[in-house]
C-alpha cells in the first residue's frame, strides 16, 4: 500500500496526498467520500472496498495559508525542470538555480528572484542582470501555492484532478500561476 491518494476539499480543490491506508480510514469514518477508485479491492474480515485513487472530504476544511520554502526541488517543480532563459530541458543534473538579481548586487534568496537555469545559461549570465547579459526570462518568477506544488510533485494526481475537473492536460500550470501567493 505505497501509492498515494489525492485528497480534495469539499469544494474539489486539491488539499494533499495521503497513503491508501489513511484514505481508507477517512472513508470508513465517513469523513470523506470516494470519487475515483481502482479495480483492486482492500479487504478486511468483514468488508471490502475498492482501492481509492481520489477522495473528497465531506466537510470543507479551512487551512491556514501554508508558505512553501524556496528549495531547489520546489523551484524546479515550479519551472517544470526548464531553463527559464533558453527554454531547454536538459535534465535535473544539468540544471541550476539562478538568482535573477545576483546576490552580489543585493538580490534576495526568495521565490521572486530564483529561477531554474541550465548550467550554460547560468554561467553566461554570471553576476549580471538579465538585461545586461541580453538574456530575457521566459516567465516571471512567482511564489506558488502549496496546493499547486502538491499537484506538480505528483503528475499522476495532477492528471486525475484535471480529468475530474474536465480540464485539459497540463492545466495544472495555469492553476499554478493563478494560485501564486
* Residue 82, domain CATH: 1.10.30.50
Q: Which pLDDT tens digit goes with each residue over 26-64?
A: 999 999 999 999 999 999 999 999 999 999 999 999 988
d(CA 116, CA 98): 6
Is residue 135 included in any domain, yes or no? no
Q: Is residue 115 part of a domain?
A: yes
8 & 45 share domain: yes
Q: How far is CA 139 from CA 39, 82, 155, 179, in A?
A: 41, 11, 21, 15
Residue with cell string 492536460:
169
Q: Are 112 and 141 in contact (CB under 8 A)?
A: yes
Q: Is residue 154 part of a domain?
A: yes
C-alpha angle 175-163-41 in degrees, rounded to nearest 5:
125
Q: What is the pTM of this model?
A: 0.74
pLDDT at 167: 66
Residue 140 lies in a domain: no
Q: How confident is the model at residue 175 (pLDDT cuts 50, 70, 90)?
A: low
Q: Is 134 part of a structural domain of the chain? A: no
Q: Are residues 44 and 82 in the same domain?
A: no
Domain range for residue 21?
A: 4-64+146-178
Is 133 inside a domain boundary?
Answer: no
In a domain, 157, yes or no: yes
Question: Does a structural domain hold residue 88?
Answer: yes
Question: How many C-beta atoms lie closer than 10 Å to residue 54's C-beta?
Answer: 21
- Domain identity same for 19 and 53: yes
Query: Can you give the pLDDT at residue 93?
Result: 96
Amino acid at each position: 500500500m505505497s501509492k498515494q491518494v489525492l485528497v480534495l476539499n469539499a469544494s474539489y480543490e486539491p488539499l494533499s496526498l495521503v497513503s491508501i491506508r489513511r484514505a481508507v480510514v477517512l472513508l470508513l469514518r465517513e469523513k470523506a467520500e470516494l470519487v475515483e477508485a481502482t479495480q483492486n479491492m482492500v479487504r478486511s474480515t468483514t468488508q471490502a472496498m475498492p482501492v481509492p485513487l481520489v477522495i473528497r472530504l465531506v466537510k470543507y476544511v479551512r487551512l491556514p495559508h501554508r508558505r512553501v520554502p524556496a528549495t531547489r526541488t520546489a523551484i524546479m517543480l515550479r519551472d517544470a525542470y526548464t531553463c527559464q532563459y533558453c527554454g531547454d530541458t536538459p535534465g535535473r543534473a544539468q540544471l541550476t538555480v539562478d538568482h535573477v538579481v545576483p546576490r552580489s548586487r543585493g538580490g534576495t534568496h526568495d521565490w521572486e528572484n530564483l529561477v531554474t537555469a541550465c548550467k550554460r545559461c547560468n554561467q553566461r549570465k554570471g553576476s549580471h542582470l538579465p538585461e545586461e547579459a541580453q538574456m530575457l526570462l521566459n516567465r516571471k518568477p512567482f511564489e506558488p501555492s502549496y496546493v499547486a506544488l502538491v499537484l506538480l510533485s505528483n503528475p499522476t494526481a495532477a492528471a486525475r484532478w484535471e480529468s475530474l475537473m474536465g480540464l485539459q492536460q497540463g492545466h495544472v500550470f495555469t492553476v499554478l500561476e493563478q494560485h501564486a501567493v
